[in-house]
Amino acid sequence: MAGGLQATTLQIGGALGTSVLVSLISGRVGATLTGELTAAGVPADLAGRLHEARDAVAMGVAPVSADMPAGLRAAVARGSGEAFLNGVHTAFVLAGLLCLAGAVLAAVALARPAREPAAH
């Protein structure tokens, strides 16, 4: 019984944790993509249009095409990469903080003295 509960909890926790972190990456990419593209040298009007590709960028794909000039292609790849790294960095910080909180809770729980069994 306990093994089944542990396995179920592990599967649900893994799925929910991954979903939350991916959503965080996607949201951060969406919030920073246009700014990172313009900072990399992409013209503002094109950066605004490329914002529509934020889902692809959140998966690590730069929205470049073969018909773009080489300099523009490099700028789009650089700006997209920076936006993606913004998302990954935010997700890693959150995951690290959650691990730290879990470690503190575990340390507190382990530091408590064992209780005496109740007399029947």
pLDDT at residue 6, rounded to an integer: 81
Q: How confident is the model at residue 69 (pLDDT cuts 50, 70, 90)?
A: very high
Tally the domains of the chain.
1
Instruction: State pTM to two decimals.
Output: 0.81
Residue 49 within any structural domain of the chain: yes
Which residues span the domain enclosing 58? 2-111
Rounded to a whole number of angstroms, the CA Rg of the chain reads 22
The string of pLDDT tens digits covering residues 21-47 is 999 999 999 999 999 999 999 999 999
Q: Is residue 118 part of a domain?
A: no
Q: Judge whether 120 lies within some domain.
A: no
**Residue 117 maps to a domain:** no
